[in-house]
Amino acid sequence: MIRVGILGASGYMGGEALRVLLRHPEAKVEWATSRTEQKAEMIHRNLYGAGIEFIKQEKTTPVDVVFAALPGGHIMKEAPALLEKGTRVIDLGSDFRLKNVEKWGEVYGKEHASPSLVAEAVYGIPELHRQTMRDTRVVANPGCFSSAAILGLAPLLKNRMVDHHKLVVDGLSGTAGAGAETDTSVHHPEIGNNIVSYNVVGHRHTHEMEQELGYVAGESVSIHFTSHYVPITRGILAVCHGFLNSPASREELLDVFRDFYRDEYFVRIYDLPKDPDAAWQHRPYPWVNAVSGTNFCHIGLDVDEERGRVVVFSVLDSVGKGGALAGIQNMNLLFGLEEKSGLDFFGLHPY
Amino acid sequence: MIRVGILGASGYMGGEALRVLLRHPEAKVEWATSRTEQKAEMIHRNLYGAGIEFIKQEKTTPVDVVFAALPGGHIMKEAPALLEKGTRVIDLGSDFRLKNVEKWGEVYGKEHASPSLVAEAVYGIPELHRQTMRDTRVVANPGCFSSAAILGLAPLLKNRMVDHHKLVVDGLSGTAGAGAETDTSVHHPEIGNNIVSYNVVGHRHTHEMEQELGYVAGESVSIHFTSHYVPITRGILAVCHGFLNSPASREELLDVFRDFYRDEYFVRIYDLPKDPDAAWQHRPYPWVNAVSGTNFCHIGLDVDEERGRVVVFSVLDSVGKGGALAGIQNMNLLFGLEEKSGLDFFGLHPY
Amino acid sequence: MIRVGILGASGYMGGEALRVLLRHPEAKVEWATSRTEQKAEMIHRNLYGAGIEFIKQEKTTPVDVVFAALPGGHIMKEAPALLEKGTRVIDLGSDFRLKNVEKWGEVYGKEHASPSLVAEAVYGIPELHRQTMRDTRVVANPGCFSSAAILGLAPLLKNRMVDHHKLVVDGLSGTAGAGAETDTSVHHPEIGNNIVSYNVVGHRHTHEMEQELGYVAGESVSIHFTSHYVPITRGILAVCHGFLNSPASREELLDVFRDFYRDEYFVRIYDLPKDPDAAWQHRPYPWVNAVSGTNFCHIGLDVDEERGRVVVFSVLDSVGKGGALAGIQNMNLLFGLEEKSGLDFFGLHPY
Amino acid sequence: MIRVGILGASGYMGGEALRVLLRHPEAKVEWATSRTEQKAEMIHRNLYGAGIEFIKQEKTTPVDVVFAALPGGHIMKEAPALLEKGTRVIDLGSDFRLKNVEKWGEVYGKEHASPSLVAEAVYGIPELHRQTMRDTRVVANPGCFSSAAILGLAPLLKNRMVDHHKLVVDGLSGTAGAGAETDTSVHHPEIGNNIVSYNVVGHRHTHEMEQELGYVAGESVSIHFTSHYVPITRGILAVCHGFLNSPASREELLDVFRDFYRDEYFVRIYDLPKDPDAAWQHRPYPWVNAVSGTNFCHIGLDVDEERGRVVVFSVLDSVGKGGALAGIQNMNLLFGLEEKSGLDFFGLHPY
């Protein structure tokens, strides 16, 4: 059994890691920390009766791997000591995501404490970095929007099918994306029947998208990204618009996506036929509620042949494939387990 | 492996049975039926990629147990032939719930086709009928509100602590309770920011509650039940009010409940301390979203000592512990498996 | 024009008073206060462009009437000085609601600063106190749940039709009832798909209900009240259960209600026929979204003749007929205006 | 008093026209039609007690103006007879929106019955066509998304500030946009916690946007439009992305917008300062719930100076400024009334 620790388990991200790791057949949660010592179920009522007590970070014991769900800037300082003890680190936060340390400093407003680890860290999308990830000690788990947009756009950029400087992405997020701390913009009376646009230019995830998609494209790309909260609790839809370099049909592009993700279990191409006469359920675009609570990403698309635009729909759960569960997939990789170990369950219908 | 068939898998109830049985370690879904043959994922997008094809009922093959999620009146006709072939029947519908066949006829507006099976059927709450259930061939799975109210009130009636003719129950249901067929009262523009009271007197589940709680109490009881849809997708909260026969404190009543459900895995008494100065999460009443998608029932309570009232909160998922998942628990019992086999997972936070 | 001031206009209650008073044909808002001076539209985006600036309380000028939407305990201290200057006071808070000053002290945890004004204050339900209200200087506007339950139960108690010590009320509230301050129990990720029970025994509004309904009944009554937040933004449904003293039909009870509210414009008896074969819209129970943003209260009911129970549904908006708009109705009365002046508009469909 | 008739008042669009016209100081609703004769309040519970009876179209009497909220293809046949009797027509549907009759035929799948009226009809955005509208007999009220996108992009195109062939618009709609007929994609269990993308390429409103914005730009434009339902009941947010022809700051572009809409009452530029340190309410982007139930359109924007993109946020209510209420504004214009007559009320907070 892999011995696991969770740093910062009282938030939504750490709580989701805890939920799934408690039932992982090959891992054992040794401890989970929070600022105040208390029963996990005081915060995560879904775990009522599970008997988990949060401890303070000072009391942690050695483990094989740590999931870090801490506020920005902490794990970059603590990782070196952990690695020294032989503990691998999966950072669910943003400390190791940007390879360019100066850019990181600008974006996050502080100097990086462990630049050498940035170089070593692998950006945690196994669909792009599986080989290098197997041997790393530090995984930089992606931002939730980044995961959705990168998975949704990678096949197009790999195949140079779209204008790579005019990619427009509207990211729609459930309010869990705002975290467990209360804020008026996700206060129910304000957002219960509303849409709240935020970080409409300059969202930090933009840099991750550009880094990773630039890597895929083999040249620099520009992502024009805007984010919005909608009144759903979990999940993300990234609506990705690209201008086609040359005409292509929906079916041709679906082929490109099916090919790109041919051997991937967790990324599914939503390729139902488009039948205007069929009932609602034949609308061939993915639904975010189908992947909530799971490690799946569903990707669908359509093409405006008249105007030369492709629109890709990429849905995932911000704490699932866009967060903690992708982290568990990465852990499985790091430790040579089957990639879907502990993660092979379905979402709910209805959700 | 137990061979399982699901009759009527395109609705929410049958779909939930399918979802969980597909990952049950000791059962195998041989087939699932719907009126039209199609991929399951056309209806249940959560199962995208699972490769399930619905077949027509005519094409079914022999199995060890059938889950029936059919419109009322079908399985009572089909059960005898199934039993004859050695197939056990777990009815997720209402055909076998009322022991009084005449009353059943009044309530459901038709004559019962298999009165002798009604006598044989065991009402599917293992917490009350575990012993007889082990040997039955037919399980009458309870109505969703019935499960919530019966589990919430049984300890009080068993111990004769409340006026058994003045029990008031307000049942709040997510819209999944209305089923997959569209209806204006659960059309999103109508209910998205609304509460829709329905079956406010004479709800059919009332008779189940009175039957089972009368059995527990050892005398006839009257349940004053009213149901309402609130704009959540899944889950039920039964708010059960009783007038205490003699003064009792919250802590004394929690003892009664803890004692009654001492050995139950899936019924949990929500007995956190009541601390007016504590933060929100210490509010010691169960939340319905904590049990969505699970087979758990959380029960909490409080007492108005000044006015002699107890209020019990019983939450469960209408297709979980109030439906298909309780049916799987019952299947486990029928076949001598561990009761929680295939069902031992947590809900989500947030949901 | 009546000169009006609003104390505490940055909350939902004061903001609603402001919204409607800005378009009142016979009143003029002279000022509205908040703790920080700022444009009203920074808080109330619905007023964007209206040009209202909140001022600090120190800068207020004399007006004819003040609406007080302040935290508990403030206006009881400030009212005497206002009255001395000839300003009438409509308290949208709880300072003057309970006639029993000692009880008030117990319930609100402090000593009352102006007991003599408590005696003078009129409880602000014009349907019960129209005559005395015309001449008062202080109106104690009711709590939102109190308004709903009192209006829903008064006809039954007036006519001694129900067991007046066994009245059970479940109050379902939109999250606006929690106020504008953030709190985890109305944080969208927690409540967006949930029901949160709170103040399940001992809710402060219970005492108002018992006071006013005791006055109507001519004897003491007991209200067994429990409150819950459901994920709607505005509005309240009070589900009021009573045990009938003698058999009565739905139609007979509707007669009692129609008679009681015969001349009332803002209280409407929802008496559509009950037709089991009719389409959804014929379900003859009121919907809370139909009265959101208005001063209407819709009341419907049904009877379980077999078990002798009546259930009354009373819907209103917590800041409408259950709050600020009822306050404006009261202002109209105080100043001899037509009661519906400025208030005669419909709700929205859909809401 | 202007005598008004409403054709098709049982839907959401016609119902909203009815709600506001019933309180219009200079108009009188002579009749409102629906397929079945019934009380309006059976459908529109907000009008409970208003005493409106829907009649069949055969029984209508002459009026000064008709609001047509009919299924596509009806009013184009009936308009000539109405005009002959001196009745003006405000079509809330799509029959007269596209000037190119052949294109209309392709888009709507039928031949146009009154091509000459198409030429005469004025596209109902007074901010663009106020002068010609005053003298027309037929108003083609815009589609809801069209209104939002056209108002949001017109200032940029008028001033040739963006690449007019690469305009990307994501339209987020409340479910009222789907109409009153039930459909699985807006069935509450399906969409209550979900986002449903639809008409993702080839949405009919695209043609209106291109027609009107082409007129504003003085050259052909391409709109890349995709629509989505989010689980709010009313309202639309059009997120409009444009690539700037030359660098410009947020403040410079706000100037352009303020200038363009300088004299407009119902279009408001949301130009609060952008202050990263300020509290949530300072986020200077419009919220759709602030304009629900009103005739206001709020427009805000931001600029990604590094990447040369402007993003415009345009919010309105699909049956408000994007539908029936804009129709009433147009009626006011046609009859020489003050443009805001009957429409000068605020939205709600919270909504």
Kindly determine whether residue D196 and residue A283, on different chains, have CB atoms separated by under 8 Å. yes
Residues C267 and C158 reside in one and the same domain? yes
Same domain, A237 and A161: yes
Q: How many CB atoms lie within 10 A of CB D110?
A: 12
Q: pLDDT by residue (tens digit) across A144-173?
A: 999 999 999 999 999 999 999 999 999 999
Dist CA A117 CA A132 (whole Å):
15
Say which amino acid occupies C315: V
Q: Which of A193, A239, A243 comes nearest D166 by C-beta?
A: A243
Beta-strand pair C88-91/C65-68: parallel
Residue-by-residue pLDDT tens, chain C, 351 positions: 999 999 999 999 999 999 999 999 999 999 999 999 999 999 999 999 999 999 999 999 999 999 999 999 999 999 999 999 999 999 999 999 999 999 999 999 999 999 999 999 999 999 999 999 999 999 999 999 999 999 999 999 999 999 999 999 999 999 999 999 999 999 999 999 999 999 999 999 999 999 999 999 999 999 999 999 999 999 999 999 999 999 999 999 999 999 999 999 999 999 988 876 665 556 789 999 999 999 999 999 999 999 999 999 999 999 999 999 999 999 999 999 999 999 999 999 999
Distance from CA of C53 to the nearest CA of B (A): 31
Question: How far apart are the C-alpha atoms of B20 and D267, rounded to whole Å?
Answer: 52
Of C144, C149, C157, C312, which residue is the catalytic one? C144
b or e along D306-341 (b: 16 or more beta carbons within 10 Å of the residue's beta carbon)? ebbbbbbbbbbbbbbbbbbbbbbbbbbbbeebebeb
The answer to whether A177 and A112 have CB atoms below 8 angstroms apart is: no
Catalytic choice (A13, A18, A52, A144): A144
Do D167 and D60 belong together in one domain?
A: no
The answer to which of B279-293, D68-82, D200-214 has the lowest mean pLDDT is B279-293
Task: Tell me, yes or no, whether C341 lies in a domain.
Answer: no
Q: Would you call A350 an interface residue with chain B, using a CB distance cutoff of 8 Å? A: yes
Q: Residue A77 falls within a domain, yes or no?
A: yes
Residues of B in contact with A15 (CB under 8 A): 349
In angstroms, the CA C258 to CA C269 distance is: 6
Among the partner-chain residues A182, A193, A231, the one whose CB lies closest to the CB of C187 is A182
Asked whether residue D28 is domain-assigned, the answer is: yes
C292 DSSP 8-state letter: T
Cα dihedral C303, C308, C314, C318 in deg (nearest 10): -150
Interface test with C, best of B201, B221, B237 (most C CBs within 10 A): B201
Minimum distance, in Å, between the CA of residue A194 and any CA atom of chain C: 10
Secondary structure (3-state) at D20 = helix
What's the pLDDT at B283? Answer: 79
Is A36 an interface residue toward C (CB < 8 Å)? no
Shared-domain flag, residues D75 and D203: no
Specify the amino acid at residue D5.
G
Give the SS3 label for residue B138. strand
Tokens 């009222």 found at: D176
> Is A238 a domain residue?
yes
Q: Is C76 in contact with C117 (CB distance < 8 Å)?
A: yes
Number of separate domains in chain C: 2
Residue B136 to residue B131: CA distance in whole angstroms: 10
Mutate: best of C42, C45, C181, C188, partner A, most A CBs <10 A: C188
pLDDT (0 to 100) of residue B34: 97
* Structure-token match 């004692």, residue found: B259
- CA C289 to chain CA centroid, Å, is 16
Instruction: Using an 8 Å CB-CB cutoff, list chain C residues near A193.
Output: 233
Residue A278 has pLDDT above 80, yes or no: no
- B-facing residues of C in 273-332 (CB < 8 A) are 279-281, 283, 285, 287-289, 292, 302-304, 306-307, 309, 311, 313
- Both D112 and D149 in a single domain? no
> How large is the average pLDDT for residues B257-269?
98
B199 and B109, same structural domain? Answer: no
* CB nearest D170 (choices: A170, A234, A304): A170
Active site residue D297: no
Residue A168, token pair as written in the block: 């427009």
Q: Check pLDDT > 70 for residue B281.
A: no
Query: Is residue A140 in a domain?
Result: no
Which of C233, B289, A172 has its CA nearest to residue D233?
C233
Q: Where are the beta strands (DSSP E) in B213-260?
A: 223-229, 236-243
CA distance B255 to B261: 10
Tell me the backbone φ, ψ of residue B228, rounded to 5 degrees: -145, 140
Chains in contact with C, where contact means 3 or more Cβ–Cβ distances below 8 Å, are A, B, D
Q: Is residue A155 part of a domain?
A: yes
Q: Which of A346, A233, A349, A238 shows the shortest CA–CA distance to A301?
A: A238
Catalytic residues of B: 144
Three-state DSSP state, C225: strand
Residues of D in contact with B192 (CB under 8 A): 175, 188, 192, 231-233
Size of interface B-C (CB pairs under 8 A): 146
Q: Do A205 and A107 share a structural domain?
A: no
Verify that D94 and D153 share a domain, yes or no: no
Q: B147 is written with which tokens?
A: 């499960």
Q: Which of B22, B29, B46, B191 to mutate to test the interface with A (most CBs of A within 10 A)?
A: B46
Domain for residue C224, yes or no?
yes
Task: Report d(CA D91, CA B117) in Å as an integer.
Answer: 62
CB C335 within 8 A of CB C341: no
Distance CA D254, CA A335 (A): 54
CATH at C309: 3.30.360.10
Picking from B3, B13, B122, B140, the residue whose alpha carbon sits closest to that of residue B66 is B3
B183 and B275 co-located in one domain? yes
The pLDDT, as a whole number, for residue C284 is 87
Which subunits sit against B, judged by 3+ Cβ pairs under 8 A? A, C, D
The answer to whether the CB atoms of D174 and B189 lie below 8 A apart is yes
Helix (H) / strand (E) containing D122? strand D122-123
DSSP string, C227-279: EEE-S-SS-EEEEEEEEBSS---HHHHHHHHHHHTTT-SSEEE------TTS-
Residue pLDDT, tens place only, D245-256:
999 999 999 999
Domain extent at residue B12: 2-120
Q: Report if residue D198 sits inside a domain.
A: yes
Question: Would you say residue B196 has pLDDT above 70?
Answer: yes
Write out pLDDT tens, residues B73-120.
999 999 999 999 999 999 999 999 999 999 999 999 999 999 999 999
- Asked if residue B296 and residue B226 are part of one domain, the reply reads yes
Residue D64 Cα distances to D4, D31, D135, D140, angstroms = 6, 12, 14, 17
Residues A182 and A270 in one domain: yes
Instruction: Look up residue A5 and give its amino acid.
Output: G
Domain shared by B299 and B197, yes or no: yes
Among B48, B261, B296, B317, most A C-beta atoms within 10 A, so best to mutate, is B48
Contacts of B282 in chain C (CB under 8 A): none
Q: Nearest CB to D202: which of A233, A239, A304?
A: A304
State whether residue A196 sits within 8 Å of chain D by CB.
yes
Per the listing, tokens 């388990």 go with A9
Give the whole-angstrom CA distance, residue A233 versus residue D343. 35
Distances (CA, A) of A194 to A187, B346, C347: 11, 30, 18
Helix, strand, coil percentages for chain C (3-state, nearest 5): 35, 20, 45
Instruction: Determine the Cα–Cα distance for residues C52 and C29; give it in Å rounded to an integer.
Output: 10
Please, which pLDDT band fits residue D49 given cuts at 50, 70 and 90?
Answer: very high
What is the chain D residue with the closest CA to C14? D349
pTM for the whole thing? Answer: 0.97
**Could you say which of A48, A281, A350 has the minimum Cβ distance to residue B233?**
A350
Mean pLDDT across B249-272: 97
CB contacts, 8 Å: C200 with chain B: 285, 302, 311, 313
**CA dist B115 → B81, B94, D174 (Å):** 15, 13, 50
